[in-house]
Amino acid sequence: MVKKMDIPFDKVSNIGFISTRLAGTDGVSLETIKWADVFEKKGFSCFYFAGELDRPEDRSYLLKEAHFKHPDIRKIYRNCFGVSTRRRSLTKKIHEMKEHIKDHLYKFIKKFNINLLIPQNALTIPLNLPLGLAITEVISEMGIPTIAHHHDFFWERQQFKTNAAWEYLNMAFPPHIPTIRHVVINSSASNQLSLRTGVSSTIIPNVMDFENPPQKPDGYASDVRKDLGIEDGELFILQPTRVVKRKGIEHAIELVRRLKMKAKLVISHASGDEGHDYEMRVRQYSKLMNVDTILSQTSLMIAEDALKTEKKSIP
**pLDDT tens-digit readout, 284-298:** 999 999 999 988 654
What's the pTM? 0.80
According to the model, what pLDDT value does residue 58 have?
96
Read off φ and ψ for residue 39, nearest 5 degrees.
-60, -45
According to the model, what pLDDT value does residue 183 have?
97
Rounded to whole angstroms, the Cα distance separating 132 from 154 reads 12
Judge whether 139 and 146 are in contact, CB under 8 Å.
yes
Sheet holding 202-203, edge to edge: 60-62, 45-50, 14-18, 116-119, 146-150, 180-184, 202-203
Q: What is the tens place of the pLDDT at every residue in 196-242? A: 999 999 999 988 777 878 777 777 777 788 888 888 888 999 888 88
Report, as ranges of residue numbers, the positions in the chain whose pLDDT lies below 70.
Answer: 1-5, 271-275, 296-315
According to the model, what pLDDT value does residue 226 have?
82
